[in-house]
Structure 1
Amino acid sequence: MHSSTARHLKSLPALCAAVALAAGMTLALAPAAQAASGAALPFTSVEAESASTTGTKIGPDYTQGSLASEASGRQAVRLNSGQRVEFTVPRAANAVNVSYSVPDGQSGALAVYVNGARIAKTLPVTSKYSYVDTSWIAGAKSHHFFDNARLLLGQNVQAGDKVAFESTGTQVTVDVADFEQAAAAATQPAGSVSVVSKGADPSGGGDSTQAFRDAIAAAQGGTVWIPPGDYRITSSLSGVQNVTLRGAGHWYSVVHTSRFIDQSSSSGKVNLRDFAVIGEVTERVDSSPDNFVNGSLGPNSSVSGMWVQHMKVGLWLTGDNDNLVVENNRILDTTADGLNLNGNARGVRVSNNFLRNQGDDSLAMWSLNGPDSNSSFENNTISQPNLANGIAIYGGTDISVKNNLVSDTNALGSGIAISNQKFLDPFSPLAGTITVSGNTLVRTGAVNPNWNHPMGALRVDSYDSAINATVNITDTTITDSPYSAFEFVSGGGQGYPVRNVNVTGATVKNTGTVVVQAEAQGAATFKNVTATQVGVAGIYNCPYPANSGSFALTDGGGNSGWNSTWADCSTWPQPGQGNPDPDPGRNLAKGRPATATGSQDVYTPGKAADGDANTYWESANNAFPQSWTSDLGSAYPVRRVVLKLPPSSAWGARTQTIAVQGSTDGSNFTTLSAAKGYRFDPASGNTVTVSLPSGTSLRHLRLTVTANTGWPAAQFSEVEAYQTS
């Protein structure tokens, strides 16, 4: 049973009120940021929101289940038919990879322009590999909205040139483009055995499975050569040992299969190099080994220069993988983990890899059946894990997590998690020294919907047992965490202690709530930790369960900017409760709980607070009056309410009669704006604004609709509340 099957099924009871996310916290991953930590990448990424466009920018948004929340930088650009986004090329390039999303059930293509001239090639786009549902994981919503598509341009472009992508019919949301100078295809090594010589079909038309098996058998102790081409494998390879499988480069040698190697053991010395393995995994089925590598490559093996995409897991490693090296690879669009060292990994080094859009932990060590030991995740770049953590260490002895760059975690994850969550037995808890050094975390941490409570950018979690290992966290940079920077918690709700933690040399900037979120008994020493732009307070120190024991924070000297403490353990601080509000212009209603007197089918109240103006709430028909109510989480001086209907011209103009009420307790409501007719007209964006009197303070916002000239029901696609007039 994979760890992912059981992952996240336990939940910490709700600790306190739900947290409103602060919009607007973005930081583009510039090359300078990658130089400090993360992988040395052969491409340069450019965010669509920083490019020129005739489309519509969406985000920033941290609301679980929204499209922008899964985007790099929490922003992207939506293109309708005929609209385009034009990138200024940052480096010499002949290839591009684009992260994008299209509506569920749709496919199409983007036209490609170089310096204004349309090229013959198009970039196919599809929702086939997106919109993954994992209903058996508590707190999961439909997720995995983005996908990646790559293209050799057929020409060289230079820094400063323009490359544009235009929708040709299907709505496409473009997130980021990676520009790369792909090297020429390599030539066949002397003495190698070509899979084509054994009957493989480089056109992709025939089944090349047996040809790969025959080439592997013939090349023992040597090299199997995969020439440029597309090869189709219909069943997994096994018995792979003492052999190198090498391609002409992942842009040229492509194997199409959802199960490449599946074997429980190997004598080792397996080297996989310089080709792509692209699968057809569209859902997550944890009982199926739909992985690039499932099981063991054996000792002293390596995986390098690979492009792995559309699998369930990139590498799910069990058995003997001692001294394995996994480096210089790209792992994209997996429905579960990118890589998981699933127990008994000794001396494994995973370094200089790029991972994007994982449906679970991007990189994980899980010490099931035996401890992972003396292994490391180093200098990796991780972007947009859309369900769990960027990097997760579940147990193990003498583990290192060094110089990684993690950005944009979502829903159930932190940037880095150091945890004794066991999922299954037998499990080996953390032991020895756990080294977490030189890592950069950008926009990491999220609200765990099982807890109704946030997780920090870097989390140390005594989930199923006390942490007795020494955990040394050094030279960490945490930027734009929507909630807290460092969290210490016993996530299983048992109150196990978190001990022996040393945090030395950290820079924290622009946290939404607090710098230290302490919720377990135990102790940590902080030295040379500097914080600026703290959203609420320096410290939240409220053990769970209550009275389970205190958490001692020892000042080792050199700390600054976070000496205040949140005083009320009965409530969780909301982003923006501090002074000043880190984003005074944010929409207070976005992502907040919403209720209504009635709704039709799938047009539920939450659709009016999900940040997407194309979805909407609709009340019961022919039953006025109807009310829609939002709980903003805390009382705010709301000055302006913006009401929207979908912007499509198919929504003809109509007038709704609306009254606005407010309440601080959810029971006693005061009329803030009397019933009045408001005209929604697609010519002006189907948007109206209601100004509220100065001095208004409310937590609960209620809209009551008594008439609608366009439909016999109340309708809103978005209700937005602002503190600004």
Structure 2
Amino acid sequence: MKRNTRVETSPAPIHKLLTAGLLVLSLGSGACSESTEGAPRGANVPWTEYQAEDGRTNATVLGPNRTRYDQAYIEAEAIGRKAVRLDKTGDHVAITAKKAANSIVVRLSIPDSPDGGGIDSTLGLYVNGQRVKSLAVTSRYSWVYGGEELRTPNTPSSGEPHAFFDETRALIDPIPAGAEVKLQKDAQDTAAFYVIDLIDLEQVAPPLEKPADLVSVTEYGALPDDNVDDGEAIQNAIDAAVGERKKGLWIPRGTYLVNQVKQGQLGLSLKGIEIRGAGMWYTHLKGAKATFYCWGEGGCRFSDFSILGEVDFRDDDIPNNGFNGGVGKNTSIENVWVEHVKVGFWCGTDADPYGTDGLVVRHSRFRNLYADGINLANGTRNSVVEHCHFRNTGDDAMAMWSNKGAGDPASHDNVYRYNTVQMPWRANCFAIYGGYNNTIEKSVCEDVLTYSGILIDNEFDAHPFAPTTTLKDISLIRAGGPMSGMNHGALRFYTRQGPVNDITAENIDIYDSTFAGIQFQNHPDSQGSTFSNILLENVFVTGSRTYGIEVIDGAGGRASFEDVVVKDSGKGALNAPGVPGNFFDKRSGNMGW
């Protein structure tokens, strides 16, 4: 496809690079950046990320571009808003492996089918000039339509396509450090085009061995890789382990189909036991019912497997989430990969008698989802999500929702720390809706299509905010976007249904936001709700496409600013039409506005 070249200008360097000479962002790692103090932000991940546009190619480099819902600009949903398009036989993109690896993830887009169901194809993987593998690629889990429509119809006639990208992953023969790794369209690779966003290379450890104190699901008839549904057999194993008070179950290496479970169940149901596999690269639960419902006060423990669902559009009447429910006390999820489901983990249900208390989720990957990555909802408390990676979610990647409709208590004392989010194509990287003593810290948001990097919002029938919501040591990179007739800022405070108060935001870097860097907004229906007891301290806003700071739509109340620096905004440092000067409690160290 022939296309015009459109060039975006790069923003000026981040303020801290200019004033302190210290590294702020280290893009392309897929995980961490640095703060001025040198403390890491983002997930500690075992792979190295390589952006395709930084590689060597004989094909077309696309972007940068941020035009949403237009298949002519697929790269708008790429990380960094650039990609490489392979159109003809022999087109390729190559990188040099910085470290040894035995696995690969490729984030890419291939065309949809005319009826919206997707196509399957291959793509050549070359190492040092030899085609070593035909990577299986598909568009069956990408390409939805209807623009802002929530249910994301899978019908091309609805127009405004989006969710262009998916991933393919494979264990491969060892790649030595320094090797050339190349993706090439050959004659047998039949998709009309391949838009390559990035390559992740990882050295995966050998599969885990079965612990002596776990019972294998194979003892109950579940067998891997036989293309026979294992749902009922796995549920029988779970029921036996619960009834006999066993520690839990071992799922050996291989792929287990879970499309059918016991009558009346929405997925696999358990309480108080452990589910462990041979590793997220080795043990796979695949199918429409490959979901877990943990219930009961005792909690559950999940580790070392992947959930590969079959969700290809969003329907909120179908509870096809990876993990569900009020999971009791001290549930843990560790080293789990969740993909192609609606929500990675939705905590709590209305009127749940157990709730969620003391949940820990760590070192897990949530990819290519049609709604939230994780939502600590409905009274979830004392819970931590850390060192997790989220990419390509269809709603908030990481949310805390203190829903009054679910009863008391409000969600409180939850922490998101050391997490990395890349390209939620609907909603925000991070969002907090009410509650108290909740924290987001030491995290990275990289690229948002339609909403904010961080949204602090009194909405969705939330419990009131109470002391204190804390945002600390966070990088927001190319965040913010248009949605519902509004231009959402990168760091956004919104009184949608009531006041927003008792918020502290410190050590925040906001880089190249699509609209405003910091935004306060009031909704016309919120009946004079205001902002109060809000402190922004040591916040750096650089290269915003519109304004550094924006206060709009009658936002009232007061916010405090200390060491807030604005630089190189596209339309001006401050936009606050009709806002009285006493909204701004300007303390020491503010610059540029």
1:152-171 matched pairs, under 5 angstroms: 152-153=171-172, 155-167=173-185, 168-170=189-191, 171=193
Cα 1:189/1:485, change in 2 over 3 Å: same
Report the CA distance between 1:28 and its aligned residue: 7.2
Q: For 1:438-453, list aligned pairs within 5 A.
A: 438-448=473-483, 450-451=484-485, 453=486
Confirm or deny: 8 A CA contact 1:241 1:269 kept in the other structure: yes
Aligned counterpart, 1:428: 463
CA distance in 2, matches of 1:262, 1:381: 24
Counterpart of 1:486, as a letter, is I
The partner residue of 2:454 within 416, 419, 434 is 416
In the alignment, which residue of structure 2 is the partner of 1:630? none
Matched, 1:29 2:27: yes
Query: By how many angstroms is 1:237 displaced?
Result: 3.9
Please report the RMSD computed on the Cα atoms of aligned residues, expressed in angstroms: 2.1
Q: Give the total of aligned pairs.
A: 529
Residues 521 and 550 in structure 1, CA contact (< 8 A), matched pair in contact too? no
Please tell me whether the aligned partners of residues 270 and 295 of structure 2 are also in contact (alpha carbons under 8 angstroms). Answer: no
SS at match of 2:233: helix
User: 1:507 deviation in Å?
Assistant: 2.1
**Equivalent in the alignment of 1:201:** 223
Partner of 2:390: 355
Kept in 2: contact 1:441–1:478 (CA 8 A): yes
User: 1:314, 1:229 → 2: CA distance?
Assistant: 21
SS in 1 for 2:324: strand
Task: Name the SS for the 2:503 alignment partner.
Answer: strand
Residue pair 2:320, 2:341 contacting (<8 A) in 1 also: yes
Greater Rg, structure 1 or structure 2?
Answer: 1
Q: Which residue of 2 aligns with 1:700?
A: none
Indicate the residue corresponding to 1:75 in structure 2: 82
| Residue identity (%) | 32
Q: Partner letter of residue 169 of structure 1? A: T
1:176-575 alignment, distance < 5 Å: 176-219=198-241, 220-234=245-259, 235=261, 236-261=266-291, 263=293, 265-318=295-348, 319=352, 320-368=355-403, 369=406, 370=408, 371-411=410-450, 413-422=451-460, 425=461, 427-448=462-483, 450-451=484-485, 453-467=486-500, 469-491=501-523, 493-494=525-526, 495-519=528-552, 520-542=555-577, 552-560=583-591, 562-563=592-593
Q: Deviations over 1:277-334 (max 9, x none)?
A: 1011111011001111121322110011001100011111114111000111000000
Greater shift, 528-537 or 227-236, is seen at 528-537
Which TM-score applies when normalising by structure 2? 0.85
Aligned to 1:59: 63
Give me the TM-score of the superposition, normalised by structure 1. Answer: 0.70
Deviation string, structure 1 residues 242-294 (Cα, Å, up to 9, x no partner): 11100110111011023334548322330110001101111101100111112
Q: Distance in 1 between matches of 2:364 and 2:150?
A: 31
Q: 2:44 aligns with which of 40, 51, 61?
A: 40
SS in 2 for 1:49: helix
Q: Secondary structure at the match of 2:234?
A: helix
What secondary structure, in the 3-state scheme, does the structure 2 residue paired with 1:210 have? Answer: helix
Structure 1 SS opposite 2:123: strand
Q: Which residue among 122, 128, 133 is the counterpart of 2:134?
A: 122
- Which 5+ residue runs of structure 1 have no aligned equivalent? 1-20, 564-725
Superposed CA deviations along residues 8-40 of structure 1, whole A, max 9, x for unmatched, are xxxxxxxxxxxxx99344887234953531100
Q: Find the aligned partners of 1:198 and 1:349 in 2 and give their Cα distance.
A: 34
8 Å contact 2:291–2:307 — kept in the other structure?
no
Residues 551-595 of structure 1: per-residue CA shift (max 9 Å, x gap): 6112211122x22xxxxxxxxxxxxxxxxxxxxxxxxxxxxxxxx
* Secondary structure at the counterpart of residue 73 of structure 1: helix
Superposed displacement of residue 539, structure 1 = 0.8
- Cα distance change of structure 1 residues 551 and 271 upon mapping to structure 2, 3 Å threshold: farther
CA contact under 8 A between 2:137 and 2:168: conserved in structure 1?
A: yes
Contact kept in structure 1, 2:268 and 2:289, CA below 8 Å: no
Cα 1:366–1:194, aligned 2, differ >3 Å: closer, same or farther?
Answer: same
Q: Is the 8 A contact 1:484 1:516 kept in 2?
A: yes
Give the superposition deviation at 1:337.
0.9
AA of the residue aligned to 1:206: V
Letter in 2 for 1:233: V
Between the aligned partners of 1:25 and 1:431, the Cα distance in structure 2 is 39
Task: State the distance in 2 between where 1:225 and 1:326 align.
Answer: 19
Counterpart contact for 1:81–1:169, Cα < 8 Å: no
Which SS does the other structure have where 2:80 is aligned? Answer: helix
- Matching residue's letter, 1:387: R
Contact 2:271 2:295 in 1 (8 A): no
Q: 1:372 to 1:133 in 2, by over 3 A?
A: farther
